[in-house]
Structure 1
C-alpha cells in the first residue's frame, strides 16, 4: 500500500531525512534516504509532498522506499551500473607503477600518488566515521586540496568503499575538476622534465 506524506528534517549533507504521513495515513514517521527516490529526481527539501511504500529494516524501523514526488510519473528503472570508482583508482596506480618500470614515468610521480592516495583514503574514512557520530567533519576544501595534489585515486577507492560523498552533486563536480587539474599538472611535470629532476634529487642517481 502506498502512503502520502511530507518530507521533514531533511539533511542535505547526509542525504536523508524523514517523511511524516498525512493525518489518518495509518503509519508512523519513516526514514527516507536519497537513494529511495527515482533516478534523475531533484533533491528533496522539507515540505515536499511525496508518495511512498514502507518497508522495515532488520531492527524493525520504518523506511520509505519507491519514493515519488506528488504528480511524478512512474519511470522505468534502467539497469545502470554505478561508477567503478575502486577499479579506476587501482588501475590508475597500477598503470603508474608499470610506467615507472618501463621508464615512461619518473619514480617521484607514482610515489607521490601512492602516498597522497593513502592520506586521502584515511581522510575520507575519518570523515565518514565523524559524519555517523555527529563529530567535527573534515572540511570539503581540505579533501579537495589533497585530491588535487594527487590523492584522488585513493579518494575514489574510499568513496566506493565507504559510500561517502558519492550522492552530493556539488562535491562530485568539484572533485572531478580537481582530478582534471591534477592530471594536467602531472603531464606538465613529466614533459617539462621537472619530475625527472625531482626523482634524481630524491634517489641521488
Structure 2
C-alpha cells in the first residue's frame, strides 16, 4: 500500500462539510470502499510476480504455461518453485534439459536421462525410432501414476519412453506385468 492516509477522501472535502457528522460518516463509507479498490490498483503491478502474488494466482498462472494445475495441498513455497521452474524451462520443454529440470523439481532428487536424440543433417538421421530412458530415485510427493502422467505429457509424441523409479520400470508396463499386478 502507498503512503495514502486512512482519511484521504475526507481530507479532500471543503472544511465546512467536515463539521456535519452525518455527512462525514456517509462519505467514510465511500472512502472505505474506494480504499479497497485503490489497494487493488496499488498491487496490480505485483499480481504477475510469482514471488509476491497470492498463491491462488500462482496456480492460475501455471495454466498460462500449459501446466494442468498445481496441487493446492502443496506448501506455498513448493507451488511457487513449480511455477518458477515451469517458466524457466518452458523454452526447453521436451528436451533433456527441460525434462531433467522438471523431474528434479518433482522427484526431489537427481534424474538420469539417456536418449537417442540429436540434431542431424537432412537424410543423416538414424533409422531407429527416437527413445528416452528416464530414471529417478523417487516420484517425490506425486503418486507413480501422476508422476508418469507428468512425464508422458512433457515428452514429444513421437518419442518412445521408458521410465524407471528406484530401479523399477513403471513405463511401459508389459501385459505380463499388468497381470501380475492385478
Q: Is TM > 0.5 for Structure 1 vs Structure 2? A: no
Band of TM-score, shorter chain: under 0.3
Which has more radius of gyration?
A: 2
TM-score by length of 1: 0.20
TM-score by length of 2: 0.22
